[in-house]
A and B are shown apart, each in its own frame.
Chain A
Amino acid sequence: MMTELSVTASSIRITDVTQDGDILTFAITSQKLNSSGGVCVFRTYEDFDWLQQNLFSQENVPGLQGVIFPPLPPKVPSPLNTASKSLKQLGFLALGHDWQSYCKALEFYLQQVATHPILSQCKALDSFLTKSESPGKQRGRKGILNRLSQAVEGMRKESHKDVDDFFQKQRHKNTNLAALSKVATEKILDVVLTEQKLALACGHFSTCLHLCVNQDDEAAVAFSKICLKLSDIVEAVKRNFEKVANNNIATLGLGLDLEARYEEAEKEMLFRRTCKLIELETVKKNTEKTKANKRDVMEEIQKATEKEFSLISSVAKQEIERFHSSRVTVLRSFLVGWCEKQLDTAKECAKLYSQYLDTCKNLFSE
């Protein structure tokens, strides 16, 4: 089961996406670890899901339940072209031309899995990245059922008091951050959508100005010129909005979305640990209740559970630390990238505007 990944994690890219009916196929390229050769495989969302399930259900990995699994983006709802529906379910990932953001999110997911110290050992990952044939689909549904049952139990168990102060705090903070980052993502999504609407409105306005052109007499021609100029300007404003919106999508939007999903993944991990804790406590109680003849067996079970729990807890601690430091770096890079892009756009636009202003002044003083 344990194998070294044969490709470099940082070289994993989703280079292309093709749409065939309702199925999106992603082209995934990566660089071989020990040679200069590259690998290119084609995967559908089902394959991604298969990989995720494989990661969930790995055997012989101690403390697997303490791992924060990189979040796999939700499935694109079919049919593919209902924008409003996919926007509702995917949020940011539905935006961007040609599923760009979605690809970016999948790519990020693969990279995260491949850099993870425990998960990157999984055989399924290597075969997912290198085998040209599609991996099996037989074990697809299980994970989803897991999650559903979790949700039902969640309400009851989430508020369970922790024995460890660290985890108690973490759980509290995580709930907080998960909610807040989700809200922030939604809000910036609203901003982006409004920017897109504005771009559209600008487009309409500029087209409409074109209709005002009238060549009947000189006064009309002069006025038409003004209209055309204004149309150009509005067009520039439109392009600015589009760029700003795209910048928002590609950087901060994706970053916040990822952050929100990661917080969610951390929450799940913490929840799994809490479940284990509850299990341990029930076992302890049972042990106390049981009669002497069965006590040994129960103590055995209790010990095993305790061991498992402490293992999970230690893995979880590492994972949380790892997650926290990596999320700061990731957020930083998104924020810096975002700021730089917006700055560039703003500068570019200001330059364009001042050019327009000059031409306007010259044109109109004629």
Chain B
Amino acid sequence: MAASSERSPPPFPDSEEPELLEDSDSDDGAGVFTGTSISEMDSPSPVDTSRTPKDIFNEPPEDIFSDPLSDTNSEPQKSVDTKISSPVSDEDIDLFSDPLDDETKIISPTESKNPVPDLLNESLSNSEPPKSDVIVEPSDISKPGHKNDVGDRRKDIFEDLPIDGNKGVSIKKAASSELFEDDDEDDEDLFKEPFKAVSKKPSGPPVDVFTEVKSEGKGKAQGKNASTDLFAEEAVTAPGAKSSAGAGSKTNGVHSEEQDLFTEATVELSLDSPRNDRKMKDVVKPPVSTPAAPGMSASGSKAASKTLEELEEEESEDKFDLNISITNPEKVGDGMNAYMAYKVSTQTTLPMFRRKTFTVRRRFSDFLGLYEKLSEKHSQNGYIIPPPPEKSILGMTKVKVGKEDPSSAEFVERRRAALERYLQRVVNHPSLLQDPDVREFLEKEELPRAVGTQALSGAGFLKMINKATDAVSKMTIKMDEQDVWFDEKIQDVENEEQQLRKLHLMVESLVSHRKELSGNTAVFAKSVAMLGSSEDNTALSRALSQLAEVEDRIEQLHQDQASNDFFTFSELMADYIRLLGAVRGCFDQRMKSWQRWQDGLNMLQKKREVEAKLLWANKPDKLQQAKDEITEWESKVTQYERDFEKISATVQKEVIRFDKEKSRDFKRQIIKYMESLLLSQQQMIKYWEAFLPEAKAIA
């Protein structure tokens, strides 16, 4: 946190910002706004920078796709000119002339300067209608397929978020960032190439560039400004929540926004050149800090924080657009061929699905099959594939035998909940959601029977993970990790896994003790009841039987709390132990890719030696073949290197995402846990309060 606050640019007077935001919101805030911007040269600039990313979000694909980035330096000059003309056309535009500055610079100046500003203007001043236009435009440009999707989502956002005016900005931002999330997988490569070029250009530390930009006033933005924009564009590819979170914070939003832009930009940079270790280590930190930084500033207002939470929610696209629940576990068949079928219900507004709600029936092995398909396809890309719950032969056999005892009911419920969490994790992953197999799994009536999931069952599954981790540890020795981030993260993950295992044990013992307590309380209640029944004194007898009832209820409370403990913590820990296994699998994949690259390098080296020998031996006939081979291997090596860089970037992104998800999961569970604790405590109070007069009534 300290790091982030250091990084934040010199603060602007806080009092001004809310005012500015409000102004921009009122219908004809133009006058007021321009007024302030004239009187204080400083104040518009934060606003303007804060807007920038939003604008960029809407436009960049086109920009980036069409513009060779090397041109950017020359373009701004033009854009400044054009910009000057546009404000004049509309009075309102004064208000936005600043954001437009930047925007126009990004947009290739040759087209559509006027319409976009207009739309933006309107979207800020009248809350609803134009927005969809605004979005449609960018999505048009970036990817026509997503048009409806985006439109829908934006509407949802507006319906669901409690907005008073000032938050409008942040919401728009969130929406647009989300929009980009969808695209960013596809665009990634496209983005990447230009970044490299750009990253070399601003040679000074990014902060310097930034402050310079700030110090330059309105129209003065030059080449430097252009590079800021580029940075901002890069931010688009980074997880949208960071920027949206920043915007969500009312008090300090503008500051953190600026900072976010930068930090995220730097992530992207570093992802592209993972071997700049020294610098990168420094650079990587800020993005991680960003989710916390805006939070600090937002802590004051509850409303703002609520929005923030919801925005974050959107970012992962869960609960919001896609709701999955697993219900009605049902035994199908008899004897040892019996299996449990679960009803998988999906509720969604995503246009990628044919209907809004649909249900399918799936059996456990189908879930395992989905996992296998996903890991086959995606694990080599460095994605963290959420692992399904393990197969339990013991538990399932009990169910198969068909005894209606509580332990098998508990088993089924436990598995149901685990499968639900598993599936939710899958669809929460933006890229896995796009996978046709996932869609098929959710939508298609009949799935081909998953075969060979036996390998994943119980101990086998664990063994597999262990093998993988063994392999990793062996390879770690070979691979001298050049990347500090990975070096530390791998260590961290291992430590974390151990700690989680320990915690898991603790929680298990807690749960078992609770169960014991509940059992003992029940026995005690029984003996008190007997004592009461053989008591002569009627009042005492009555009180004792009342006490027995109270104890019975308390027993129920303990039992509930035991299952609460179990489902909120024990299962959470178990999930994360499995997930950490998957994270290690990711590192493993990255390592493999590195290995391939190194092998390629070695091969290339050999080929060169062969060439040298041939050259020395003067054998021109074979020389050509050798040269061909060299070029072939050179391209291969380049490919491998690129692959490695790509997987490193993906893994890093995935791990950052994973960490965030983890924190959020834990938070959610803790709050849930506290609520359940409080509830049972309140229940307890009621019981005691009811009993007290009974005790006092004993004569």
Residues of A at under 8 Å CB distance from B?
A: 173, 176-177, 180-181, 183-184, 187-188, 190-191, 194-195, 197-198, 201-202, 204-205, 208-209, 211-212, 214, 216-223, 226-227, 229-230, 233, 237, 324, 328, 331-332, 335-336, 338-340, 342-343, 346-347, 349-350, 353-354, 356-357, 360-362, 364-366
The distance in angstroms between the C-alpha atoms of A362 and B675, with both chains bound, is 14
User: Can you list 10 A-B pairs, Cβ within 8 angstroms, ordered by A?
Assistant: A190-B520, A217-B285, A218-B292, A226-B670, A328-B537, A332-B696, A349-B681, A365-B306, A366-B295, A366-B298
A209 in contact with B503 (CB, 8 Å): yes
CB distance from B678 to the nearest CB of A (A): 4
B495 in contact with A229 (CB, 8 Å): no
Q: Which of B4, B507, B666, B689 has the most CB of A within 10 A?
A: B666
B692 in contact with A230 (CB, 8 Å): no
**Residue B656 at the A interface, CB < 8 A?**
yes
Interface residues of B in 505-556 (CB under 8 A from A): 506-507, 509-510, 513-514, 516-517, 520-521, 523-524, 527-528, 530-531, 534-537, 539-540, 543, 547
A343 in contact with B299 (CB, 8 Å): no
A187 in contact with B524 (CB, 8 Å): yes
A214 in contact with B524 (CB, 8 Å): no
CB distance from A231 to the nearest CB of B (A): 11
**Residue B3 at the A interface, CB < 8 A?**
yes
The distance in angstroms between the C-alpha atoms of A211 and B659, with both chains bound, is 18
The distance in angstroms between the C-alpha atoms of A347 and B686, with both chains bound, is 10
A198 in contact with B514 (CB, 8 Å): yes
A222 in contact with B677 (CB, 8 Å): no
Residues of A within 8 A of B475 (CB): none
**Residue B488 at the A interface, CB < 8 A?**
yes
Q: Which of B306, B681, B684 has the most CB of A within 10 A?
A: B681
Cβ-closest chain B residue relative to A186: B527
Residues of B within 8 A of A183 (CB): 527, 530
**Residue B685 at the A interface, CB < 8 A?**
yes
Assuming the contacts A223-B662, A233-B670, A361-B671, asked whether A208 and B506 have C-beta atoms less than 8 A apart, the reply is yes
A332 in contact with B528 (CB, 8 Å): no
The distance in angstroms between the C-alpha atoms of A346 and B530, with both chains bound, is 27
B536's partner among A195, A204, A324 (CB-CB below 8 A) is A324
The distance in angstroms between the C-alpha atoms of A232 and B306, with both chains bound, is 24
A357's partner among B495, B502, B516, B675 (CB-CB below 8 A) is B675
A364's partner among B509, B513, B659, B667 (CB-CB below 8 A) is B667
Assuming the contacts A219-B659, A324-B537, asked whether A212 and B499 have C-beta atoms less than 8 A apart, the reply is yes
Residues of B within 8 A of A208 (CB): 499, 502-503, 506
Residues of B within 8 A of A343 (CB): 685, 688-689, 692
CB distance from A324 to the nearest CB of B (A): 7
B677 in contact with A346 (CB, 8 Å): no
Extra A-B contacts (15), CB below 8 Å, given A202-B510, A332-B698, A365-B305: A177-B535, A183-B527, A197-B516, A208-B499, A214-B496, A220-B492, A227-B666, A229-B670, A233-B674, A328-B537, A332-B696, A339-B688, A343-B692, A356-B674, A362-B299
B289 in contact with A364 (CB, 8 Å): no
The distance in angstroms between the C-alpha atoms of A335 and B692, with both chains bound, is 9
A237's partner among B285, B662, B671, B677 (CB-CB below 8 A) is B677
Residues of B at under 8 Å CB distance from A?
A: 1, 3-4, 284-285, 288-289, 291-292, 295-296, 298-299, 302, 305-306, 308-309, 488, 492, 495-496, 499, 502-503, 506-507, 509-510, 513-514, 516-517, 520-521, 523-524, 527-528, 530-531, 534-537, 539-540, 543, 547, 656, 659-660, 662-663, 666-667, 670-671, 673-675, 677-678, 681-682, 684-685, 688-689, 691-692, 695-696, 698-699
The distance in angstroms between the C-alpha atoms of A357 and B305, with both chains bound, is 16
Residues of B within 8 A of A223 (CB): 659, 662-663, 666
Assuming the contacts A184-B524, A187-B523, asked whether A205 and B692 have C-beta atoms less than 8 A apart, the reply is no
Cβ-closest chain A residue relative to B547: A335
B691's partner among A339, A354, A361 (CB-CB below 8 A) is A339
A191 in contact with B695 (CB, 8 Å): no
B685's partner among A184, A229, A346, A362 (CB-CB below 8 A) is A346
A346 in contact with B516 (CB, 8 Å): no
Residues of B within 8 A of A354 (CB): 678
Residues of B within 8 A of A362 (CB): 299, 302, 305
The distance in angstroms between the C-alpha atoms of A177 and B544, with both chains bound, is 13
Residues of B within 8 A of A194 (CB): 513, 516-517, 520
CB distance from B307 to the nearest CB of A (A): 10
A366 in contact with B305 (CB, 8 Å): yes
B692 in contact with A201 (CB, 8 Å): no
Residues of A within 8 A of B675 (CB): 357
B309's partner among A184, A218, A365 (CB-CB below 8 A) is A365
CB distance from B415 to the nearest CB of A (A): 25
A328's partner among B514, B662, B696, B698 (CB-CB below 8 A) is B698
Cβ-closest chain B residue relative to A229: B670
B299 in contact with A218 (CB, 8 Å): no
Assuming the contacts A194-B517, A366-B299, asked whether A350 and B678 have C-beta atoms less than 8 A apart, the reply is yes
CB distance from B541 to the nearest CB of A (A): 10
CB distance from B251 to the nearest CB of A (A): 12
CB distance from B654 to the nearest CB of A (A): 13
A226 in contact with B510 (CB, 8 Å): no
Assuming the contacts A219-B660, A223-B662, asked whether A353 and B674 have C-beta atoms less than 8 A apart, the reply is yes
Would you list the 3 A-B pairs with minimal beta carbon distance, nearest first? A366-B295, A365-B305, A219-B659
B492's partner among A216, A222, A353, A357 (CB-CB below 8 A) is A216
The distance in angstroms between the C-alpha atoms of A205 and B507, with both chains bound, is 7
CB distance from B690 to the nearest CB of A (A): 10
CB distance from A222 to the nearest CB of B (A): 5
Residues of B within 8 A of A214 (CB): 492, 495-496
B289 in contact with A346 (CB, 8 Å): no
Assuming the contacts A218-B289, A332-B698, A335-B547, asked whether A201 and B678 have C-beta atoms less than 8 A apart, the reply is no
Residues of B within 8 A of A350 (CB): 678, 681-682, 684-685
Cβ-closest chain B residue relative to A338: B695
Assuming the contacts A180-B527, A340-B692, A346-B685, asked whether A187 and B308 have C-beta atoms less than 8 A apart, the reply is no
CB distance from B353 to the nearest CB of A (A): 31
The distance in angstroms between the C-alpha atoms of A335 and B694, with both chains bound, is 10
Residues of A within 8 A of B663 (CB): 219, 222-223, 226
Cβ-closest chain B residue relative to A335: B695
Residues of B within 8 A of A191 (CB): 517, 520-521, 524
Cβ-closest chain B residue relative to A353: B678
Residues of A within 8 A of B524 (CB): 184, 187-188, 190-191
CB distance from A334 to the nearest CB of B (A): 9
B531 in contact with A218 (CB, 8 Å): no
B308 in contact with A365 (CB, 8 Å): yes
CB distance from A225 to the nearest CB of B (A): 9
The distance in angstroms between the C-alpha atoms of A340 and B520, with both chains bound, is 22
The distance in angstroms between the C-alpha atoms of A339 and B299, with both chains bound, is 41
A198's partner among B305, B510, B534 (CB-CB below 8 A) is B510
Q: Which of A201, A209, A222, A227 has the most CB of B within 10 A?
A: A222
Residues of A within 8 A of B506 (CB): 201, 204-205, 208
Cβ-closest chain B residue relative to A356: B674
CB distance from B290 to the nearest CB of A (A): 8
Cβ-closest chain A residue relative to B526: A187
CB distance from B565 to the nearest CB of A (A): 10
B692's partner among A188, A219, A336 (CB-CB below 8 A) is A336
CB distance from B7 to the nearest CB of A (A): 12
CB distance from A54 to the nearest CB of B (A): 33
